[in-house]
Amino acid sequence: MDFAQEVKAAADIVSVVGAHVRLKRQSGNRYLGLCPFHTEKTPSFSVHGALQIYKCFGCGKSGDVFSFLMELQGLSFIETLKLLAQQQGKEMPRKGGGPGADAAARTREGLLQVHEFTQRFLVEQLKSRRGAGAMRYLRQRGLGLEEIEEFGLGYAPSGDALMSYLKGKDLRRSHVLESGLVGQSDRDSSVYARFRDRLMFPIHSDGGNLIGYGGRSLEADRQPKYLNSPETPIYRKNAVLYNIHRARTAMRQSNLAVLVEGYMDVIGVWRAGIRNAVATCGTALTSRQISMLRRHCDTVVVNFDSDSAGQAAAERSVEMLLRDGLSVRVLELPSGLDPDEYCREHGGESYRQQLEAAPAYFHWLLDRSRTQFDLSTSDGRTKAFEHLLRSVVLLPDEVQQATTVTDLAQHIGLPQSLALAKLRGAAKPSSRSEAAPVAQADGLSPSERLLVVLLVSEEGARQQFLEKACEIAERGLPSRQILSALRAVEKADGPFRYEAVEGRLDGADRERLARLVFDRDRPTPTLADGEDLLAALQRQALEDQYQDLLRHIGRSGSTADLPKLLDRKLRLERELGLAQ
């Protein structure tokens, strides 16, 4: 077994996928979740634990543990292999060019290394005399060493200290320049540190790699107050949520994410015991960030600042979250406090109670509309309702839309019939998402389906029944190409791999096999069922031949062939037990 197969054999695709997608067990080794590769509201993404494969019946993407991580994180095969090997405590072999053998992978690996060295430097600087002001600020915000170390906070000093530090490391100049941590003068091509005299917040990918920074100015009048890393090959700010790598486990366990505005808000609520908070990285909420949330939970509590900018951002975020099918609640803290301030003044338990009591989004929007529109006039009530209706039509369920509109009409003071009429005029036809696979009209009999699944799943079944099944299927059964592919892979050198079977099938049979394997409604066949399934397959083949022969006899115009046809008919009737 080569190194890649060794790593793959040791990996559990359910655990790997489950770190990025909230999976629900269907039956046996089959799991279902929302696809991470396209936007959907009905789960169509299936994972098979025994076969170590995944398949989305919505967008069609499928593969193994390697292809999943490559597609999700944009990694090369070598990078993916290295990532899984590190998780298993295995060291990559150094032959064949070593890890990062292609140019893009080398660049990404180099950029990660630049960030790794930079992080060591920034942490050291925070602990030094240079970082005294930054440390004092953190103490004033109530942070102790535990939170500072947990979030890897650091300090970027003024001057060229970072540049001098990086020059002493074995780093490519091109990687340092491309990292976004330094800038280059147009005048004389000199290099300077982008972040100077700033408190530094490391930003990590969903998988936990350090990919960028947010830097807060320590001078009250210095702008911008927050400076973020620019876009790089490893950092796309519209596809990153601050703290997602820490929060995702708690998000899955609670089925809830708390969306806040700033780095300090996340750290403040973490310090208070709230582990499922994330923040955007200096951008408005994006569809890619929402997709990250939907992989881990169904409900989002939006807790932005209470100022006008924060409330406007909250309303935009609510609409986007609803459009993607998430359940949304909105928390507006008393006295205009932000989450960090509230936790420091009132404690984590009080903040947890506030989260639990956070109203559904439309109650918050309704309260907000009272400050935006004059509800004492019919014109104001109509405008307020039409404004709120934009969010209602984003709800995925028509019944939910109708009940929400009815509640809004009652609160605003509009006739219910008028509100429902406006809803009918505004509602868009819902697009039906591809559902998880169920039994399809694929031309296979029930016993034929179960036998194929058994042969795919059990090595012992292939050894006992595959050759005979192929012999029977060659008589014209719909599963003959699938069984032939199974036999070819079974006879080939190396371990039996589902992907190798897929590779020998055309598109129709490949889809047919995937639906059989992932069908959530079928029973799970065992090795003890093999003989009965094979016997049923034999009878099915004979019955098909018998019906074909009867049709042939009926169409035959030649009396010369009739005795042979009738003799064959009699033999089939004896085998089927139909002869008198």
How confident is the model at residue 264, as a pLDDT? 96
Q: What is the pLDDT of residue 430?
A: 47
| Non-local CB neighbours of 121 within 8 Å, separated by 6+ positions | 154, 161, 162, 165, 166
**Residue 181, helix vs strand vs coil:** coil
Q: List strand residue ranges (DSSP E) for 362-477, in order.
A: none
Instruction: Report pLDDT for 390.
Output: 86
User: At which residue do the structure tokens 């709120």 appear?
Assistant: 388
Which residues have a Cβ under 8 Å from the Cβ of 341 and sit 6 or more positions away? 268
pLDDT value for 93: 83
3-state secondary structure of 189: coil
Ramachandran angles phi, psi of 184, nearest 5°:
-130, 130
Q: In which element (H, E) is residue 256 found?
A: strand 256-260
User: Per residue of the chain (580 residues), what is the pLDDT tens digit?
Assistant: 588 888 998 999 999 999 999 999 987 889 999 999 988 888 999 999 999 999 999 999 999 999 999 999 888 898 899 999 999 998 888 654 444 457 888 899 999 999 999 999 999 999 999 999 999 999 999 999 999 999 999 999 999 999 999 999 999 999 999 999 998 887 887 889 999 999 999 999 988 999 999 999 998 888 999 999 999 999 999 999 999 999 999 999 999 999 999 999 999 999 999 999 999 987 889 998 998 999 899 999 999 998 888 899 999 999 999 988 899 999 999 999 999 999 999 999 999 999 999 999 988 988 888 888 888 898 888 888 888 888 888 887 788 888 888 988 888 888 888 888 888 888 655 444 445 554 445 678 888 889 999 999 999 999 999 999 999 888 778 899 999 999 999 999 888 889 899 989 988 899 989 999 988 777 888 898 889 988 888 887 777 777 777 877 777 666 677 777 777 777 767 766 776 5
Residue bearing tokens 């042969």:
455
Q: What is the structure's pLDDT at 433? A: 44
> Measured between alpha carbons, how far is 549 from 547 in angstroms, rounded to an integer?
5
Q: Which residues contact 212 (CB under 8 A, 6 or more apart)?
A: 115, 180, 202, 203, 228, 229, 232, 234, 235, 237, 240, 281
Output the pLDDT for position 576.
Answer: 67
Distance CA 20, CA 208 (A): 12
Whole-number pLDDT of residue 75: 86
Pairing between β-strand 256-260 and β-strand 210-217 as defined by DSSP bridges: unpaired
In the numeric block, which tokens belong to residue 561? 């062939």
The pLDDT, as a whole number, for residue 526 is 87
Report yes or no: 106 and 172 within 8 Å, Cβ to Cβ: no
- Please say whether the beta carbons of 412 and 375 come within 8 A: yes
